[in-house]
Structure 1
């Protein structure tokens, strides 16, 4: 505009700006631009994107406070980023919000590159004593009292505000709590052969028995790797490792399957009819189980794909006590040879 009109005083420029942009058409364009703006860490820089959205909101609503601006822009960031920002930040200025977005994006990019040394930026703790009743406003957030922090481990920490956990399913009758169990077995592919795997985070490592491995992979002996002298145990029984099987587990999915490179420990006396996926690969690949009304498995940090459990019939848990053989021996050896009076 300056090249077209040359030098003029401010009142003239103000009149031209109002004529060009202070109309319903320009306002409609700004509203559409803000509504369609979604933050993408691969395309947008946090500083540039945040300030652009702030300018759009300030143009539409000049009297809007910084807290409402932050809240509206935060909703445009998306699920995981929005949740991370809410968990680590208190109501603050725009500059602080931009810094938090940059810190979170840098941490996520570092994790995706699988670097060994990660530096997580943690905001400074604010003393709980600063939060008085008269300081609670309409924009008071639950995260200000650090409910997002993990539980304390100090002995002097007192338990306060104990709440009952919410049940996702109907509570079983008293004494029948063990009947609410659910199977953690799902179907996978190993060497293009369908197999069953039990997701058991209580197990020390991923393992499989010789009987089940022989049923799905008859030629497993040709691919067995040696294992160091290490002791394995299950409950009160010792497990005897024979070697390591280096193979891939494929979790099938209609939108793209997921392949996990694993080293399965082969156990000689393991009688389970499935592969046990232990805690080692839970940690390596970030496996989680969602135990809400709809149960599913997620793999990795992004957790975009959901894997179902196998529809297997629910088996009743059999609980048996130690068998007392003394009564049977007494009947067989003593009473069996005795003569009983018929009048009795």
Structure 2
């Protein structure tokens, strides 16, 4: 009787009499009473075979998806807390999860179950559209806020950089060391090579951002111009 009431309240009252029911070989459906009742109602009973998911593959896939959805809410037990801190049993999630499932596009059909069943999708919060003028106003506010945030972030990064980095001043004739950070073919393991090479004499200055040096030794075939961020003054205490 309980099964009959569930089918009436949850299925027939919404979708009408069923043409076909696929189920396990449960006594609720294999008994003579149920078999004769379905004959009268014109419903065909199809029973699945154990360990043969092809029979009811769509239902099995839906159940698997719903189990995964519930599992994400109930990772720490059969109860969950909402945003207000109230505790609920997992079964109270089913109506919301059913709505989410029915309004999600399925890869196999390219449509939502609601569209295939009813011909239309239920209206959701994301479907409430703003008027064009309201949307433009909102978009302008978002862009203005975004530009302000980006400017503040840039200014903060610049202040932080300027505080810890000072551009060295070089002139022609100075002895400098250049970073080996980007040199990959120096004849020693990368982890054992010196961080700087030199000293080398500055032959020319390209503004305040780059210097040209006279390279020798292993670096003789390298490009002679370096950004000042990869160079430092040579002192007698520095080693090559």
- Using the size of structure 1 for normalisation, the TM-score is 0.18
Task: Tell me which of the two structures has the higher relative contact order, counting C-alpha pairs closer than 8 angstroms and 6 or more residues apart.
Answer: 1
Larger radius of gyration: 2
